[in-house]
Amino acid sequence: MTDGPDADVPLPEDVDAVRTALVEWYEDDHRAYRWRETTDPYQILVSEVMSQQTQLDRVVEPWEAFLDEWPTVESLAAADRADVVGFWTDHSLGYNNRAKYLHEAARQVVQEFDSAFPETPTGLQELMGVGPYTANAVASFAFDNGDAVVDTNVKRVLYRAFAEIHDTDNPQYEEVANALMPDGQSRVWNNAVMELGGVACQKTPRCDEESCPWREGGHAYQTGDFTAPDVPTQPEFEGSRRQFRGRVIG
């Protein structure tokens, strides 16, 4: 590890190599979701609100149906709120307040911003129901203008690979994530690190199966200890190099 912007922030020795490995891994092969193929902030905001505490595969059909019904921010702003909430309920998308906030955010964009979304995380947080995480996601994926996006999956990745930060709420997660992210590349970087947490560094890791680009230098892979802030006990896995490695080291 080397010192980052703060002496207490642990970073890999060769940050550029770490960045390149992750971006190349992501660009070589990743899950294809239509919201990853657009820079439309409205479509991206809808996907982000729908995917809160929901697996991405379950969002595909509702997201497409929602945009068929309300294809633009103007059409959503003009919709009856009861219809939006009804759609949310019919598609089992979780708390109805999310639908209400999304509808109100659309109205704000139309009425207060002349139908043009704010392009910064700070500006996006002026919209109803948009917190720091969602604001960074929309700013990154729509405008390539966000900070590092840090959720539970990203914390797990950083903990296992580099940081070993034990407090889930420790601000070092954000510091490490932002120090790792290449300048001006928040779109590809945030997509890549979130993909890593979603397919390779799940609670039960799939390092070899998904060719994790950080496995050889990662603390967890080297030691066989795959606990994390959201994985307090060692996950079980069979038939991989990880299991053998962990037994040898142990």
Residues 235-245 have a mean pLDDT of 55
Is a pLDDT exceeding 60 seen at residue 179?
Answer: yes
CB 235 within 8 A of CB 203: yes
Query: Is a pLDDT exceeding 60 seen at residue 120?
Result: yes
Mean pLDDT over residues 228-235, rounded? 87
pLDDT score of 230: 87
136: three-class secondary structure by DSSP: helix
CB 242 within 8 A of CB 205: yes
Residue tagged 């690979």 (tokens):
161
Most confidently predicted of 100-109, 165-174, 211-220: 100-109
3-class state of residue 11 by DSSP: strand
pLDDT at position 119 is 98
61 belongs to the catalytic site: no
Structure-block tokens of residue 67: 């945009």
Average pLDDT value for residue range 202-222:
92
Domains and CATH numbers, the chain: 34-143 (1.10.340.30), 148-249 (1.10.1670.10)
pLDDT of 43 above 70: yes
- The β-bridge relationship of strands 2-3 and 10-11 is antiparallel
Residues 62, 65, 71, 76, CA torsion sign? negative
- If we measure between CA atoms, which residue out of 150, 91, 96, 97 comes closest to residue 121? 150
pTM: 0.86
Return the number of other C-beta atoms located less than 10 Å from residue 151's C-beta: 15
**Residue bearing the bigger pLDDT, 76 or 7:** 76
Active-site position among 24, 27, 48, 119: 48
Cα–Cα dist 250/205, whole Å: 18
- State yes or no: pLDDT of 239 exceeds 80: no
DSSP 231: B
Distances (CA, A) of 213 to 81, 178, 216: 45, 19, 8
Mean pLDDT over 145-155 rounds to 93
Cα–Cα distance, 85 to 88 (Å, whole number):
5
64-to-85, 110, 117 alpha-carbon distances in Å: 16, 22, 21
Query: How distant is the alpha carbon of residue 79 from its chain centre?
Result: 29
Assigned token pair, 155 = 């914390």
**CA 65, CA 112: separation in Å to the nearest integer?**
27
